Amino acid sequence: MSAPPTHSSRPAVTEREARQVAEAAREQDWRKPSFAKELFLGRFRLDLIHPHPLPADQDAQRGEEFLAKLRDFCETKIDSARIEREAQIPDEVVDGLKELGALGMKIDTKYGGLGLTQVYYNKALALVGSASPAIGALLSAHQSIGVPQPLKMFGTQEQKERFLPRCARTDISAFLLTEPDVGSDPARLATSAVPDGDDYVLDGVKLWTTNGVVADLLVVMARVPKSEGHKGGITAFVVEAGSEGVTVEHRNAFMGLRGLENGVTRFHRVRVPAANRIGPEGAGLKIALTTLNTGRLSLPAMCVGAGKWCLKIAREWSAAREQWGKPVAFHEAVGAKISFIAATTFALEAVVDLSSQMADEDRNDIRIEAALAKLYGSEMACLMADELVQIRGGRGFETAASLAARGERAVPAEQILRDLRINRIFEGSTEIMHLLIAREAVDAHLSVAGDLIDPDKSLSDKAKAGANAGVFYAKWLPKLVTGPGQLPRSYGEFRHGVDLSGHLRYVERTARKLARSTFYAMSRWQGRMETKQGFLGRVVDIGAELFAMSAACVRAELLRDQGDHGREAYQLADAFCRQSRIRVEELFGRLWSNTDDLDRKVVKGVLAGTYEWLEQGIVDPSGDGPWIADATPGPSERENVHRPIR
């Protein structure tokens, strides 16, 4: 057997090499239209999302039947307070979910799954996540990024037949990418998979393995060394969690999601059959990112559920609680918060449902839409939960158990704030999502002018790029001057009592303005554009607001057309768009008027110790130990806390 690697350091990579690894993992082509991509280019393609796509009747019937069963299970079998108190999902609840088929919601019926669409899968996650966010996380991690999704997209027929029936009914799966010193920079991935005959030998340590403590099957990303007959690179494997040499060394505890089975997993000379490799060597990161394109939709779906619960509690509490002779809801300071929660919940559901239905139809490329949904949903849900805590006042800060102990309704407002906070970090932090979306948003520019700002390109390459760019911008820039958004009768089909057409005209005009701003920034900063993360983040946030406004208007029109609360939907869409437009104008102002340059100077001073005197007058209650735990490959010295549920 080949000897395992003995190095204790991670691959040494430069910033440029790290970027090249990430770039190589991107989907390079746009084979289908994308509403969000067009939006960032200043082209408002309403035809791509309106009329709102709808699920097939049989898909809707199957989905509604399962939702009814799941609702009954949530109401009768899930004790959220117990999960919070014991920091663990009871085994009988997990067993019940297995019997219900909840592990196989997205798995095809021919493999024993339920075969739900993305729309109904997300509705199910919103429902079960409202009962217990920890259960929502377990089911999402298992199906959205665990074994089922990458096998569905990239697995061989033999792999699907071997593993998908297990995942549909009995086996919980987990996804293992992050390492103690590697997060969103996979170029430094240290876990290795050394070829040895018909096997690979895995060595390394993985951190924050959601479901890893109870998982039966793992998707593991490991680096295959390049050698004769082996292309090498980051590669994906299905690993049996009970294999010899796999040790769950620790179950992590967090500020929220206390029932989450998340741990640290060590691999020491773990033999994995080559038949368990997903895709070719070197395709692991691309598989992970492609899986996340739709997998990311599960997280904002649960944020929708959280928003609905926040609205319910805000409504009931604000009607019952009186101040100065009237319910607190009718005091403007509180009422504005309630309006924000209601309007934002409507818009967020519109974003998730629209993106999910487009994913089901597979007519559009939704990689940007899904990323925007994740980014926007995670940020806005945290704001809604924070506003709920504020509306509840001292009771919002008090735990549900304490409220119940003194005779009041056990409302876990502080818990939902804690539980939602991780969503701004899960599956790509807000900061990373800004960069990921920004890269996709400027893809058209880089494809025609990228060589102009690439220091490694020759003069002839730059000259060719200059010519191509001239042709592209000669056609593109004039189209950013005028458009339907300047015609008062545009989008007239969105006038029904409440007039939403003005909001869509605003989106069209603002998309062109955003594209002009992006072009100006690229002209100004050129190769330094990628370092302007503050600017890029604001560009993405504007795009997210425009996407949400578009989705809200289209959803309102759908509900009106169906005769399902259409008037009220128009009111909510109008309120959301007016709130959103205020945020957009503020973001535009901050594109060019900000403290980004000054902030960089202050940061350098902080790290140099220039302001260390400011830290005087406190004590630091932190414990001892390294900032990042040692992850040197080798045998485990800890007890295995792996706890499969059978």
Helices (H), 157-297: 157-169, 284-295
242/523 Cα distance (integer angstroms): 55
The values of phi and psi at residue 188, to 5°, are -100, 15
Half-sphere exposure at residue 121, Cβ-oriented, CA atoms within 13 angstroms: 31
Q: Which residue, chain included where needed, has tokens 């994995």?
A: 272
Contact 277, 405 (CB under 8 A): no
Cα 517 to its chain centre, rounded Å, is 26
3-state helix, strand, coil in the chain (%, to 5): 60, 10, 30
CA dihedral 163, 169, 175, 176 (to 10 degrees): -70
Residues facing 262 on adjacent strands: 210
Distance separating alpha carbons of residues 453 and 451, to the nearest angstrom: 5
The type of residue at 627 is: W
Catalytic annotation present for 316 = no
The strand ranges marked E within 477-539 are: 495-496, 498-499
Tokens of 144: 């959205």
DSSP, collapsed to helix, strand or coil, labels residue 175 as strand
Treating both helix axes as pointing N-terminal to C-terminal, what angle do 133-140 and 298-320 enclose, rounded to 10 degrees? 170
- Rounded Cα–Cα distance for residues 49 and 457 (Å): 39
* 251 SS3 class: strand
Quote the DSSP letter at residue 32.
S
Cβ burial of 622 (10 Å; 0-12, 13-18, 19+) is: exposed
CA pair distance 589, 625, nearest whole angstrom: 44
Asked if residue 498 lies in contact with residue 554, where contact means CB atoms within 8 angstroms, the answer is no
Q: How many CB atoms lie within 10 A of CB 616?
A: 6
Catalytic residue among 427, 508, 545, 557: 427
**Spatial distance between the Cα atoms of 433 and 410, rounded to a whole number of angstroms:** 35
Return the bridge partners of 278, or none: 236
Contact 5, 205 (CB under 8 A): no
Q: What is the DSSP string of 335-359?
A: HHHHHHHHHHHHHHHHHHHHHHHHH
CA dihedral sign, ordered 483, 487, 492, 497: positive
The two structure tokens encoding residue 267: 């691999």
- Beta strands in 197-311, from DSSP E residues, in sequence order: 199-210, 217-224, 233-240, 246-251, 262-273, 277-278
- Helix or strand or coil: residue 603? helix
DSSP 395-444: HHHS-HHHHHHTTS----HHHHHHHHHGGGTTTS-HHHHHHHHHHHHTHH
Contact 557, 493 (CB under 8 A): yes
DSSP 8-state class, residue 48: G
Q: Are 269 and 634 in contact (CB under 8 A)?
A: no
Catalytic positions are 427
